[in-house]
Structure 1
Amino acid sequence: MTKNNASVSQNNMAQEILSSVVVFLVALPLCIGIAVASGLPNAVEKGLITGIVGGIVVGFLAGCPLQVSGPAAGLAIIIKELIENPDIGIAGLGAIVFAAGIIQLVAGSFRLGRMFRAISPAVIVGMLSGIGVLIFSSQFHVMIDDKIDGGGIQQLISIPGAFVKVMFPMATDTHHLAAYAGVLTIVTLLLWNKFRPEKLKFIPGTLLGVAAAVIFVQITGYNVDKITLPKSLVTKESLLNWGDAWSILQTQQGIILAFTVAIVASAETLLCATAVDKLHDGQRTNYDKELFAQGVGNIICGYLGSLPMTGVIVRSSANINSGAKTRYSAILHGFWLLLFIAIFPGVINLIPKASLAAILVYIGIKLINVGFIKELKQYGRSEVVIYIATIAGIVATNLLTGIMIGFGLAILKMLYTMNHLSITVTKEKDPDQECYVMRFDGSATFLKIPELAKNLEALPLDSEIHIHLDGLSYIDHACIDLLKSHSSQVEKRGGKMVLCWDSVAELFQKSKMGKNTEKKVKNSQDKDSNK
Structure 2
Amino acid sequence: MFKYIKNDLPASIVVFFVALPLCLGIALASGAPLFSGLIAGIVGGILVGVLSGSQIGVSGPAAGLAAIVLTAIGTLGSFENFLVAVVLGGLIQILFSILKAGVIAYYFPSSVIKGMLTGIGIIIILKQIPHFFGYDEAPGGDFSFFQVDGENTFSGIFSALRSISPGATLIAVIGLGVLILWEKVLSKKSKVFKLIQGPLVAVILGILYFAVTQGNETWSISIDHLVKVPVPESISAMGSLLSFPNFSVIGNPEIWITAFTIALVASLETLLCVEATDKLDPYKRTTPTNKELFAQGVGNTVSGFLGGLPVTQVIVRSSANIQSGGRTKASAIIHGFFLLVSVLLIPRLLNMIPLSVLAAVLFVVGYKLAKPRLFKTMYNLGWKQFIPFVVTVLGIVFTDLLVGIGLGLGVGIVVILIKSYQNSHFLHIEDKSNGAHKIKMTLAEEVTFFNKGAILKELDSLPENSQLELDVRNTRYLDNDIVEILEDFSEKARNKHIDIKLISERGIVENPESYIQFFKLDKNNNNKTTNDDTD
Interval containing the TM-score (normalised by the shorter chain): 0.7 to 0.9
2:109 to 120, 124, 127: 120
**Which of 285, 297, 300 in structure 1 is aligned with 2:299?**
297
The counterpart of 1:408, out of the listed 383, 407, 410, is 410
Identify the residue that residue 436 of structure 1 maps to in structure 2: 439
Letter paired with 1:76: A
* C-alpha displacement of 1:412: 3.8
Give yes or no for the alignment of 1:103 onto 2:101.
no
Letter of the 1:353 counterpart = L
Residue segments in structure 1 that go unaligned for 5+ positions in a row? 1-8, 167-174, 514-531
Is 1:263 aligned to 2:268, yes or no? yes
1:135–1:441 CA distance, 2 compared to 1 (3 A): same
Is residue 307 of structure 2 the alignment partner of residue 317 of structure 1?
no
Name the aligned partner's letter for residue 130 of structure 2.
H
Measured at CA, do residues 510 and 371 of structure 1 come closer, stay the same or move farther in structure 2, by a change above 3 Å? farther
Match of 1:78 among 51, 65, 83: 65
The match for 2:128 among 139, 143, 159 is: 139
SS in structure 2 of the partner of residue 38 of structure 1: helix
Q: Show structure 2 runs of 5+ residues with no match.
A: 139-144, 215-219, 520-535
Give the 3-state SS of the residue equivalent to 1:145 in structure 2. Answer: coil
Task: Give the structure 2 partner of residue 214 of structure 1.
Answer: 207
SS of the equivalent of 1:466 reads strand
Q: In the alignment, what sits opposite 1:497?
A: 501
Q: Offset at 1:292?
A: 0.9
Distance 1:272 1:353, change over 3 A: same
How far does residue 192 in structure 1 lie from its aligned partner after superposition? 1.0
Deviation at 1:26?
2.0
Q: For residue 50 of structure 2, what is the aligned residue in structure 1? A: 60
- Aligned partners of 2:260, 2:442: CA distance in 1, in Å? 49
Contact 2:20-2:339 within 8 A present in 1 as well? no
Contact 1:427–1:437 under 8 Å retained in 2? yes
Q: Decide whether aligned partners of structure 1 residues 511 and 347 sit closer, same or farther in structure 2, where only a CA change above 3 A counts.
A: farther
| Residues 256, 293 of structure 1: alpha-carbon distance in 2 compared, 3 angstrom cutoff | closer
With 441-450 and 403-412 compared, the bigger mean Cα shift is at: 441-450
Q: Given residue 9 of structure 2, which amino acid in structure 1 is its aligned partner?
A: V
Q: Residues 228 and 101 from structure 1, CA distance in 2 versus in 1: closer, same or farther, beyond 3 angstroms? A: same
SS in 1 for 2:227: coil
Structure 1 residues 144 and 252, CA gap change in structure 2 (3 angstroms): same
TM-score by length of 1: 0.73
**Aligned pair count?**
482
After superposition, the Cα gap between the structure-2 partners of 1:434 and 1:286, relative to the gap in structure 1 and judged at 3 Å, is closer
Deviations for 1:171-205, whole angstroms, at most 9, x for unmatched residues? xxxx2222222222222212211112341323333
Partner of 1:241: 246
Give 3-state SS (helix, strand or coil) of 1:238's partner.
Answer: coil
The alignment yields a C-alpha RMSD, in angstroms, of: 4.5
2:526 — aligned with what? Answer: none
- Indicate conservation of the 8 Å contact 1:68/1:315, yes or no: no
Aligned-pair identity (%): 23
Q: Displacement of 1:347 after TM fit?
A: 2.6
1:185 and 2:187 matched: no
- Hey, what's the Cα distance between the residues in 2 that align with 1:248 and 1:355? 45
Matched residue, 2:340: 338
Alignment of 1:202 with 2:195, yes or no, is yes
Does the Cα contact within 8 Å between 2:391 and 2:407 map onto a contact in 1?
yes
The residue type equivalent to 1:57 in the other structure is L
Residue 32 of structure 1 deviates from its aligned partner by 0.7
- Aligned position for 1:516: none
Alignment check: 8 A CA contact 2:27 2:33 kept: yes
Q: For 2:507 and 2:26, how far apart are their aligned partners in 1?
A: 56
Contact 1:39/1:80 (<8 A) preserved:
no
Deviation at 1:344, TM superposition (A): 3.4
Question: What's the CA shift for 1:481?
Answer: 6.9
Is 1:422–1:440's contact at 8 Å kept on the other side of the alignment?
Answer: yes
Distance 1:141 1:279 in 2: 36
Q: 1:374 to 1:107 in 2, by over 3 A?
A: farther
Judge conservation of contact 2:278–2:284 (CA < 8 Å) in 1: no
1:31 is aligned to 2:19: yes
Q: Distance in 1 between matches of 2:498 and 2:400?
A: 65
